[in-house]
Amino acid sequence: MIIIGILLNIAGLGVVCWALFTLAVYALPFFVGMTAGMYTYRTGIGPIGAIAVGFVAGAFGLLAGRYLFSVTRSPAIRLVIALLFAAPAAWAGYEVTFNLAHIGISSEWWREVFALVGAVGIGFTAWARVAITTTPVLSEGVGAGSAPSPLGPRLGSVTPDG
């Protein structure tokens, strides 16, 4: 019975870590949606309207961030956009890792070390996911086909010259 409990605890911790890494990109849109929803609730719109405004604001924040990241060619602006997504994810990763470290680690210093490692790992994961999930928008004069090989035509391929 103890072995089953240990295995289920490991599986549960694995699910929590998987969810944290998967949802890290959505920390910024979640914060945007929560802020917009709480602000509209305080203006007297009601709970249903505030939830709707929060969902719309969060979705707009996610789509606008991804679109701006894929359209922008400047590395500095792309860095700022990626940091906007990675910073809240790193903060969420720090908090979750720190609170999970309270379960089995008694030393305050080691909790902080694990929390910082978790924050860095989750922040970099969010950074990479933002960069991977955006597809670059083609600008005028850029073809959608594959680029020619820099090595020239392959051996045995037929060329117009013969």
The count of domains in the chain is: 1
Q: What is the pLDDT of residue 49?
A: 93
Structure tokens at 104: 């089995």
For residue 73, tell me if it sits in a domain.
Answer: yes
Task: Quick: pLDDT tens for 68-120.
Answer: 888 888 888 888 888 888 888 899 889 988 988 888 888 899 999 999 998 99
Query: Whole-model pTM?
Result: 0.66
For residue 144, tell me if it sits in a domain.
Answer: no
Residue 147 has pLDDT above 80, yes or no: no
For residue 32, tell me if it sits in a domain.
Answer: yes
Handedness of CA 28, 34, 37, 40 (dihedral sign): negative
For residue 83, tell me if it sits in a domain.
Answer: yes
Q: Measure the CA–CA gap between 65 and 160, rounded to whole angstroms.
A: 46
For residue 97, tell me if it sits in a domain.
Answer: yes
For residue 160, tell me if it sits in a domain.
Answer: no
Question: Mean pLDDT lowest for which of 96-105, 116-125, 126-135?
Answer: 126-135
Q: What is the pLDDT of residue 145?
A: 56
Q: What is the pLDDT of residue 94?
A: 92
Q: Which domain holds residue 44?
A: 12-133
For residue 78, tell me if it sits in a domain.
Answer: yes
List helix spans (H) across 24-107: 27-42, 47-71, 75-104
Instruction: State the DSSP code for 140.
Output: T
* Average pLDDT of the residues in 51-78: 89
For residue 105, tell me if it sits in a domain.
Answer: yes
Q: What whole-number percentage of the chain has pLDDT above 70?
A: 81
